[in-house]
Structure 1
Amino acid sequence: MEPPYAPGDMVRRHRLATRLWHWLNALLLYILFTSGLGIFNAHPRLYWGHYGANFDHAWLELDRFPGWITLPALYNLALSRHWHLTAAPIFAFALLFYMLWGLAGGHIARDLAFRRGELAPRHVWQDIRDHARLRFPTGAAALRYNVLQKASYIAVLFIALPLLILTGLTMSPGMNAAWPWLVDLFGGRQSARSIHFLTAFALVAFFLVHMLMVLLAGPVNEIGSMITGRYRLPKDRP
């Protein structure tokens, strides 16, 4: 049973492990994304299958990404790879730790698992309407994730982030030798590269929507709770 919180109360919202992983993850994903674009600039084409060379048909051809969005800003494949391969194992082990902590500590079962009736079309549609109308929960209801938040966080935590790691490993010649089944799983190294690219930009889209919701819900309270762990329950709008 939840304590009798009232709108305006200051409560504890995010645990230390969640806050540390959130900000570490944000930094690592920034490094991985920008250095990844620097690596992509070495051959800005994407293919399906095992090979992918100049005479193979590319399903996507792009110009090089500009320096303001790559790490480093000036094209340097070796340095981009250095940044990427330094951040990647930290990112992978941090994700593994957070998932194990979330399972063992009950965070996933308590906060992310869908409750009875939440996936009913009527309930989902109401949640979509509330988001479209910018009607954010108030009082103790603001402490619980709604069905769209749960769905997006589950998709990111258990699908998108592991997919980035697995497709990244598939592009490694060393991992191809150690775990050849990874190449077969994704239908070839070039297919893994394409999935890696698409997943990365799907996460960028998630980040943009996430930041928009934070700004609309009240950035000081939302960001502050992810720093200090304390959150002021929103009051009902007049």
Structure 2
Amino acid sequence: MDGNGRWAKARLLPRIAGHRKGVEAVRRVARAARTLGIEVLTLYAFSSENWRRPADEVGDLMGLLRRFIQEDIDEFDREGVKVAVIGEYRRLAPDLVDMIDAAVARTAGNPGPTLVIALNYGSQAEIAAAARILATRVATGEIAADAIDEAAFEAALPSGTLPPVDLLIRTSGEQRLSNFLLWQAAYAELLFVDTLWPDFDADALKSALVAFAGRQRRFGGL
């Protein structure tokens, strides 16, 4: 979800104004995804690299996250949405971790769709964590090294319960993956759009799905 800062800059507003509008876009897109029958929607909310941003901006983002959970969890629960979180979110402030855990627990039994929030997430770190888990299992004799295949590695990923990514959308004209779901996106269709995230809406999501429907997915075959 890229482009909040540029959206604000173009309007001579502080960056936090762009982030606030970005939260509104999250609400629009989450609702549209339910209507369109999307089973899993994963949003890259805060990367492990975002800590490099100014402290006041990081603080603003965490404050918006608190408000988002407080204001939207009732609707998600009422609509049967299951909330999940990936990333090392337990390194966030303790009160925020408690709010996240409560939201996940409250919606765990919902039938879906699933809204996944990536918080303090980095795909390379996740892959390294899976490698450490498997290395420990080999060292203790729990598994043999030659038993490690793609399925075993995927199961060791902290986000291993997520299905493979079908469509990966990046907004604001940037054309890179930025350490997001690298393993899961191995055969994803990539779509880069110029729309800044605060302007992304239901129509933009529908257009993305139309573009996806027109792709031919071969998965290495003919």
TM-score relative to the length of structure 1: 0.29
Question: Normalized per residue, which structure has more strand?
Answer: 2
Return the structure number with greater relative CO, CA threshold 8 A, min gap 6.
1
Say which one has the larger Rg.
Answer: 1
- Structure 2 length-normalised TM: 0.30
Tell me which protein shows more helix as a share of its residues: 1
